[in-house]
Chain A
Amino acid sequence: TQLLEQSPQFLSIQEGENLTVYCNSSSVFSSLQWYRQEPGEGPVLLVTVVTGGEVKKLKRLTFQFGDARKDSSLHITAAQPGDTGLYLCAGRHAGGTSYGKLTFGQGTILTVHP
Chain B
Amino acid sequence: NAGVTQTPKFRILKIGQSMTLQCTQDMNHNYMYWYRQDPGMGLKLIYYSVGAGITDKGEVPNGYNVSRSTTEDFPLRLELAAPSQTSVYFCASSPRLSSYEQYFGPGTRLTVT
Contact = CB atoms under 8 A, between A and B. Distances in A.
B12 interface: no
A1 B59 contact: yes
B104 interface: yes
B31 A99 contact: yes
Contacts of A43: 43, 90, 104
Nearest to A32: B100
A42 B59 contact: no
B67 to A, nearest CB: 17
A6 B42 contact: yes
A65 interface: no
Interface stretch (B14-22, B75-83, B91-99): B91-99
B64 to A, nearest CB: 16
B40 A41 contact: no
Contacts of A48: 100-101
Interface residues of B, number: 27
Contacts of B61: none
A106 B40 contact: yes
A107 B33 CA distance: 19
A107 B38 CA distance: 11
A72 interface: no
B43 A88 contact: yes
A44 B104 contact: yes
A31 B97 CA distance: 13
Contacts of B100: 31, 33, 45, 48, 50, 92
A9 interface: yes
A42 B44 contact: no
Interface of B: 4, 31, 33, 35, 40-45, 48, 50, 56, 58-59, 90, 92, 94, 97, 99-102, 104-107
User: Ordered nearest first, which 8 A-B pairs have the shortest CB separation?
Assistant: A42-B104, A104-B42, A48-B100, A104-B43, A45-B101, A106-B42, A105-B42, A42-B90
